[in-house]
């Protein structure tokens, strides 16, 4: 690291949390790095084409090695001396289980807290002190929190202590879900492997785009590809916010907004469905929205290209009719499983052992 870079990190360290939080992301990304490598995984914008291709290659390799018992036994030796804390105080099924399974694949020992009602937070401990406590017992914290910015705050705090440990953001309020975006991208990449990859594809994102953190993180990542077009299909009240639109305009990524699902389907290479995020309602406003117009049903399938794919971060409600599951274009169950492999690759990367896997 150059002297100027070191000075920059020291200056960032001296900021209060409020000042740090307000600092534009591009000016603080190095704070989440160690020796020039990503150390905390908090925002989709941290993922460069180099990191992404390393992670895809590592995930493919892990997947292959894990097929045989001897291979899996070997993988499980790689991080058997490390411990991970899964701090998931917002509901989760697949993100939690897939991170836990990813840890098992690499032999990490896992502890978990799944609710503030069973941790000392019920006794009035702040989340900051709770997180500081984990750092005494774990080498990595993988966390999902209902509060925007909490994963960043954890990393801000722990990068100042003597024994810094990596923070992985498994979902921070309405804000971001970068590892979901990573597995979405991995799924797109695998699905379009024989059609020139993600470049030049049209991605139609449907549903609650205002509060869905997965669409936000995925939108940021699509910047890394050439010729991608995005179509945002949502009820008027749930349109994608200006922050994302400004980002896309700045990077000259063409996008359209629409409220008409049927009209948007024929041009799609990928349709990314999402559920209504009514847990973020302030006054039960979701009840007044007719979300049924944003449901994908069997009758829509004939409108889709033969080689289009259907994705969903899951869990689903009625946004995708169950009858769609048997269509070969439905990729959401595979997408879910891809999550485990790419998260194993990410953990390997954060511990700096991806070369051991890639070079075997």
> What's the closest the beta carbon of residue 351 comes to ligand NCD, in angstroms?
23
CB nearer to ligand NCD: pick between 274 and 286: 274
What does 7-25 look like in DSSP terms, one character per residue?
A: HHHHHHHTS-HHHHHHS-G
86: β partners: 112, 142
Going across the sheet that includes 83-88, the strands are: 109-113, 83-88, 140-145, 166-172
Q: One of 95, 187, 202, 274 is an active-site residue; which one?
A: 95
Q: Which stretches does DSSP call E strand in the chain?
A: 33-34, 37-38, 83-88, 109-113, 140-145, 166-172, 202-206, 229-233, 255-258, 270-273, 309-311
Q: Is 145 a catalytic residue?
A: no
Q: Is 64 a catalytic residue?
A: no
Q: Is 252 a catalytic residue?
A: no
Q: Is 300 a catalytic residue?
A: no
Q: Is 312 a catalytic residue?
A: no
Q: One of 94, 153, 174, 316 is an active-site residue; which one?
A: 94
Q: Would you tell me how many other CB atoms lie within 10 Å of the CB of residue 290?
A: 7
> What's the closest the beta carbon of residue 350 comes to ligand NCD, in angstroms?
19
> What's the closest the beta carbon of residue 8 comes to ligand NCD, in angstroms?
32
Residues 314 and 320: their CA atoms lie apart, in Å, by 10
Which residues contact ligand NCD (rule: CB under 6 A)?
A: 94-95, 171, 177, 180, 213-214, 274-275, 313-315
> What's the closest the beta carbon of residue 334 comes to ligand NCD, in angstroms?
14
CB nearer to ligand NCD: pick between 201 and 275: 275
3-state secondary structure of 197: coil
CB nearer to ligand NCD: pick between 158 and 221: 221
CB nearer to ligand NCD: pick between 177 and 239: 177
> What's the closest the beta carbon of residue 247 comes to ligand NCD, in angstroms?
19
Q: One of 61, 63, 82, 144 is an active-site residue; which one?
A: 144
What phi and psi, each to the nearest 5 degrees, are found at residue 327?
A: -75, 135
CB nearer to ligand NCD: pick between 135 and 277: 277
User: What are the b/e assignments for 78-98, b being 16+ CB within 10 Å?
Assistant: bbeebbbbbbbbbebebbbeb
Please identify every residue annotated as catalytic: 94-95, 123, 144, 177
């Amino acid at each position: 690291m150059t002297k100027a870079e070191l000075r920059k990190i020291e200056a960032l360290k001296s900021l209060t949390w409020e000042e740090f939080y307000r600092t534009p992301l591009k000016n603080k990304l190095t704070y989440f790095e160690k020796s020039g490598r990503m150390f905390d995984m908090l925002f989709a914008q941290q993922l460069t084409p180099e990191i992404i291709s390393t992670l895809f290659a590592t995930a493919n390799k892990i997947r292959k090695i894990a097929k045989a018992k001897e291979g899996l036994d070997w993988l499980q030796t790689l991080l058997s001396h490390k411990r991970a804390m899964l701090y998931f105080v917002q509901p989760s099924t697949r993100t939690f289980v897939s991170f836990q399974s990813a840890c098992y694949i690499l032999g990490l020992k896992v502890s978990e807290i799944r609710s503030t009602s069973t941790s000392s937070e019920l006794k009035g401990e702040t989340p900051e002190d709770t997180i500081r406590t984990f750092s005494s017992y774990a080498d990595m914290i993988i966390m999902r929190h209902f509060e925007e910015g909490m994963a960043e705050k954890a990393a801000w705090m722990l990068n100042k202590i003597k024994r810094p440990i990596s923070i992985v953001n498994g979902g921070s309020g309405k804000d971001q879900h970068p590892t979901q975006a990573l597995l979405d991208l991995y799924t797109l990449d695998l699905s379009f492997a024989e059609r020139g990859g993600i470049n030049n594809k049209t991605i139609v994102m449907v549903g609650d785009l205002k509060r869905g953190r997965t669409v936000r993180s995925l939108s940021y990542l699509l910047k890394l590809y050439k010729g991608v077009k995005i179509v945002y299909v949502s009820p008027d009240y749930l349109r994608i916010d200006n922050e994302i639109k400004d980002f896309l305009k700045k990077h000259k990524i063409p996008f359209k907004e629409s409220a008409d699902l049927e009209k948007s389907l024929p041009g799609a290479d990928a349709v990314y469905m999402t559920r209504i995020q009514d847990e973020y309602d302030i006054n039960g406003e979701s009840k007044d929205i007719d979300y049924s117009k944003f449901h994908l049903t069997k009758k829509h399938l004939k409108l889709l290209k033969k080689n289009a794919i259907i994705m969903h971060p899951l869990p689903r409600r009625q946004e995708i009719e169950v009858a769609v599951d048997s269509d070969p274009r439905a990729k959401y169950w595979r997408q879910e499983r891809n999550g485990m492999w790419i998260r194993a690759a990410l953990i390997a990367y954060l511990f700096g052992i991806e070369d051991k896997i890639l070079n075997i």
